[in-house]
Structure 1
Amino acid sequence: MNAGIFRGRPAGEVAVIGLGKSGRSVAELLARDGHAVYASDAGTGDAARQAAESLAALGVAVQTGGHDLARIARAALVVASPGVPPEAPPLAAAREAGVPIVGEIEIALHYLPALRTVGITGTNGKTTTTAIVGHLLRALGHDAVDAGNIGTPLAELALRERPPAWAALELSSFQLHDTPSVDPTVGVVTNLSPDHLDRYASIDAYYADKARLMANAHAGSRWVLNADDAGVLALHRRIGAEQLAGEVRTFSLRDPSAAAHYDRTADALILDGAPLLPRAEFPLLGDHNVANALAAALAAWMADEAHRTPEARLRIADALRGFHALKHRMEPVGTYGGVAWINDSKATNVSSTLVAVQGMTRPYVLLLGGRHKGEPYTALAEPFRRHGKVVLAYGEAAPIVEQDLGRLVPVEPVDGDFAAVVARARALTGPGDAVLLSPACSSFDMFRNYEERGAEFRRLAAAEQGTA
């Protein structure tokens, strides 16, 4: 990283772009260490205002409703929040002026030199895998926190009087783009498929950012890779490495030679050559969550030599039995009139919805729509035919969903608000059926975020039963 700016007193002002949770935390971290900080955000809402007031009290120069591009161009360093696109004017101004740009995690890592991390990236399953890893590390007796893209900024941990010893660190492609010094104790790649094509110029550019997880690989590195995904196994080549340095082990739903795999005949999860637990004892729905559990268990197993014991195996198994579905990720939210309602609002791309559809085992109505992200929906048709009844296409993407799928499977566009979509789903289902919200789109046409969309789905599912 640009470590020179942290030697002695500041070499100049640090500009922090974006006042969300990560921007606010890193600006506070830098200010408390004596750096001159200018922080700005294009927004003017309550969250930006509250962040501005808090930071101003620490001596940070704060601007909301815009950015001082000339000031940013004079900065010694720019810290970009992951939600700020690379072409945004403040980042463009920094690049044109030759100002280095890093992310919040890059700064936080500087202040957490003793932190051990399990870094998790991939297109889908990152958040669930991160949450399981953190859960397993705590079950193994560690002071461990789930951080990064999962919701807790790493800089927030650095502000603590006693930072944790371990972090299960979810890393998005956006975060990896601006974290040149990332060097996880264990690195995990769940899977790869096209995503964020509304932000990246090409799939190759997106995959290249994922590969940055491996940029500092060395002989002591440990890697957990998906043996069922050829793109994951070859990801290191995108950083110019013929071989990936360090210990490389794999997980698989199909390959019995993988270090962690699913034995479908025995219906059990296997870890390092021995049974871990029966599939029936792991409470999450779908094969994709079995893959997430295998990846997390293998990462915890590899994280420290002390974890590779019979006692640790028992602790890992017990922890998996007690892990529950995260909100908005194939989350059962209730059964009403014999109909199961499943909230997979976090599925904001086609590949994520694909694994949800593949995991369905009962007749269901699929709620598909929102703001289109650039991918065709045709890949959903074949697995949908197995148990799907009808696709309800809604929101801005409805015409595209109907165009892509209408000749392949039953599709019904629904006009109106989200309540109308849910009401139509209820009318089309009966006892033994399910309603699956797995939109394959972002939520921004109707909601502020996928969490709000999922919460409204839960409320509407229960509302007509008198249980809201």
Structure 2
Amino acid sequence: MEQNAAKAHKLVVLGAGESGIGAALLGKKNGYEVFVSDGGAIKDNYKKELIDNGIAFEEGKHTEEKILEADEVMKSPGIPEKNEMVKKIRAKGIEVISEIELAYRFKGNSKIVAITGSNGKSTTTSLIYHICKTADLDCALVGNIGYSFAKQVAEDPKQLYVAEISSFQLDDIVDFRPDIAVLLNITEDHLDRYDYKFENYIDSKFRIIENQRPGDYFIYNADDEVIEQKLQTLHLNINLLPFSMKQEIKKGAYIKGDQMMIRIQEERVSMSIYDFALKGKHNQSNTMAAGIAASTLDIRKEKIRDAITNFEALEHRMEHVATVRGVEFINDSKATNVNSTWYALESMNKPTILILGGVDKGNDYSLIEDLVVEKVKAIVCMGLDNEKIHEAFKGKVPVIVDTASAKDAVTKSFELAAKGDVVLLSPACASFDLFKNYAERGTQFKNAVKDL
């Protein structure tokens, strides 16, 4: 496609969020004729970037004739296939790509570490980036977290990109090929985007390795049955590096007792799990994945150990907010599906008041039922429609109450808590009924705790 850039290749960008703006800037820089179209309003800061760079755009509508003139359409990950405009683009046979595909096209000789999975992506991506920075590599943190991949390539290219990749971004790749691919786990999420077929979602996640070559690495969770079953159907000619908490791995990583062991080439890294900055069992898996990725980048084991020991956890992901009169408050607002909440509850070792609720994506609460019965003394619902939560846990938890704001939820939780308890915001739902996004939900929760 690069050779087409000379004859004003027409690129239409659908959606003017972070990834859309990044794609527009990168396209323009490489001689494409770019038009940006957003069905809603474009944020002022993004609009300014488009105007400053002389990029044509529209907001509040999609002008069909302009869009259907495109040689290629970059579709933002938030726009589903069932969108009417997308259907028309497909019907006309115009190629649709994702922003990571465009970034890949112009990345030059840089390497990519790409991380996907249903849970733990942001944490693992951030940890790999932290290890790379500790080792003084010329790298950037891109993708679903931080900066748009395309924008980074356009404005400040690096030798290495550590990219958090969602299944939506993988849906529209063509040649995208990471040197190191990491697949953490696959659990049922976003099924509304995959015709409610788990198999479609699994296939989407596995696209991260579809273009890999013999010298590339695939780091994956050997304890995940879904991943293991899918691997048995594939014939791969790439370097497989599994990690496990259940079995010793010859090439990859495992935890035995309280020791993590990573062995890739001759160099071996071993360290105690008690030295990990990230606590909780699921984070041991995330830390192994990050450690393997760092080893394949030839980062010295001392640097890997240092970085794993001094990493600071992400905001809104199992974040300790405060302890008020003996009650600990934890912000896990980033838990937007039931599996994330399962991981959070699994790491609780005190009686827990659990704040649940929001926009339900077809949740199956039976997945957390055993942990809730074992650890939760009260559920505080925080959403506009809490009926499904009541149905799922009625008679299994002594107290279930409804609230409709972060402030109410925190006040009620504090009333229900005794000294030595923990209040855990881990909603298992999206946040759009009461908040702009999970970050705003987490921030309001933290502010309410500080006001107690």
Query: What is the DSSP-based 3-state SS (H/G/I as helix, E as strand, rest coil) of the residue aligned with 1:348?
Result: coil
Match of residue 140 from structure 1:
135
Q: Does residue 1:82 correspond to 2:73, yes or no?
A: no
Query: Is contact 2:8–2:32 with CA below 8 Å preserved after alignment?
Result: yes
TM-score using structure 1 length: 0.92
Aligned equivalents of 2:52 and 2:404: distance in 1? 45
Q: Decide which moves more: 438-447 or 89-98.
A: 89-98
Query: Is contact 1:129–1:295 with CA below 8 Å preserved after alignment?
Result: yes
* Identity value in percent: 33
Query: What is the DSSP-based 3-state SS (H/G/I as helix, E as strand, rest coil) of the residue aligned with 1:159?
Result: helix
Please report how far the alpha carbon of residue 114 of structure 1 lies from its aligned counterpart in structure 2 after TM superposition: 1.2
- Output the amino acid matched with 2:25: E
- Out of 182, 202, 205, the residue aligned to residue 207 of structure 1 is 202
Q: Does residue 1:323 correspond to 2:311, yes or no?
A: yes
Match of residue 181 from structure 1:
175
Please report how far the alpha carbon of residue 249 of structure 1 lies from its aligned counterpart in structure 2 after TM superposition: 1.4
What are the residue-to-residue correspondences of 1:210-225 with 2, within 5 Å?
210-225=205-220
Match of residue 247 from structure 2:
255
**Alpha-carbon spacing, 1:113–1:69, altered in 2? closer, same or farther (3 Å):** same
Please report how far the alpha carbon of residue 397 of structure 1 lies from its aligned counterpart in structure 2 after TM superposition: 4.3
Please report how far the alpha carbon of residue 111 of structure 1 lies from its aligned counterpart in structure 2 after TM superposition: 1.1
Structure 1's unaligned 5+ residue stretches are none
User: How big is the alpha-carbon RMSD for the aligned residues of Structure 1 and Structure 2?
Assistant: 1.7
Please report how far the alpha carbon of residue 4 of structure 1 lies from its aligned counterpart in structure 2 after TM superposition: 5.6
Query: Is contact 2:335–2:341 with CA below 8 Å preserved after alignment?
Result: yes
Deviations 1:57-115 (A, max 9, x none): 43322100111122211211100111111222221221011110001111111111211
Match of residue 434 from structure 1:
422
Query: Is contact 1:150–1:170 with CA below 8 Å preserved after alignment?
Result: yes
Query: Is contact 1:144–1:168 with CA below 8 Å preserved after alignment?
Result: yes
Aligned equivalents of 2:64 and 2:229: distance in 1? 40
Match of residue 383 from structure 1:
371
Please report how far the alpha carbon of residue 22 of structure 1 lies from its aligned counterpart in structure 2 after TM superposition: 1.1
- Output the amino acid matched with 2:427: P
Aligned equivalents of 2:293 and 2:336: distance in 1? 26
Q: Does residue 1:299 correspond to 2:287, yes or no?
A: no
**Alpha-carbon spacing, 1:224–1:282, altered in 2? closer, same or farther (3 Å):** same
- Out of 307, 318, 330, the residue aligned to residue 342 of structure 1 is 330
> In the comparison of the two structures, how many residue pairs are matched?
447
Q: Decide which moves more: 67-76 or 353-362.
A: 67-76
Deviations 1:144-165 (A, max 9, x none): 111111131111111225x111
Match of residue 271 from structure 1:
262
Query: Is contact 1:358–1:384 with CA below 8 Å preserved after alignment?
Result: no
Structure 2's unaligned 5+ residue stretches are none
Query: What is the DSSP-based 3-state SS (H/G/I as helix, E as strand, rest coil) of the residue aligned with 2:192?
Result: coil
- Output the amino acid matched with 1:296: A
- Out of 41, 49, 58, the residue aligned to residue 44 of structure 1 is 41
Match of residue 440 from structure 2:
452
Please report how far the alpha carbon of residue 378 of structure 1 lies from its aligned counterpart in structure 2 after TM superposition: 1.3
Query: Is contact 2:111–2:178 with CA below 8 Å preserved after alignment?
Result: yes
What are the residue-to-residue correspondences of 1:92-131 with 2, within 5 Å?
92-131=87-126
What are the residue-to-residue correspondences of 1:48-87 with 2, within 5 Å?
49-87=44-82
Match of residue 25 from structure 1:
22
Aligned equivalents of 2:292 and 2:160: distance in 1? 16
Please report how far the alpha carbon of residue 411 of structure 1 lies from its aligned counterpart in structure 2 after TM superposition: 4.8
- Out of 153, 167, 170, the residue aligned to residue 164 of structure 2 is 170
Aligned equivalents of 1:174 and 1:396: distance in 2? 27
**Alpha-carbon spacing, 1:349–1:337, altered in 2? closer, same or farther (3 Å):** same
Please report how far the alpha carbon of residue 194 of structure 1 lies from its aligned counterpart in structure 2 after TM superposition: 0.2
Query: What is the DSSP-based 3-state SS (H/G/I as helix, E as strand, rest coil) of the residue aligned with 2:7?
Result: coil
Please report how far the alpha carbon of residue 330 of structure 1 lies from its aligned counterpart in structure 2 after TM superposition: 0.6
Aligned equivalents of 2:76 and 2:211: distance in 1? 22
- Out of 366, 372, 380, the residue aligned to residue 354 of structure 2 is 366
Aligned equivalents of 1:53 and 1:90: distance in 2? 25
Q: Decide which moves more: 270-279 or 181-190.
A: 270-279
Aligned equivalents of 1:26 and 1:283: distance in 2? 35
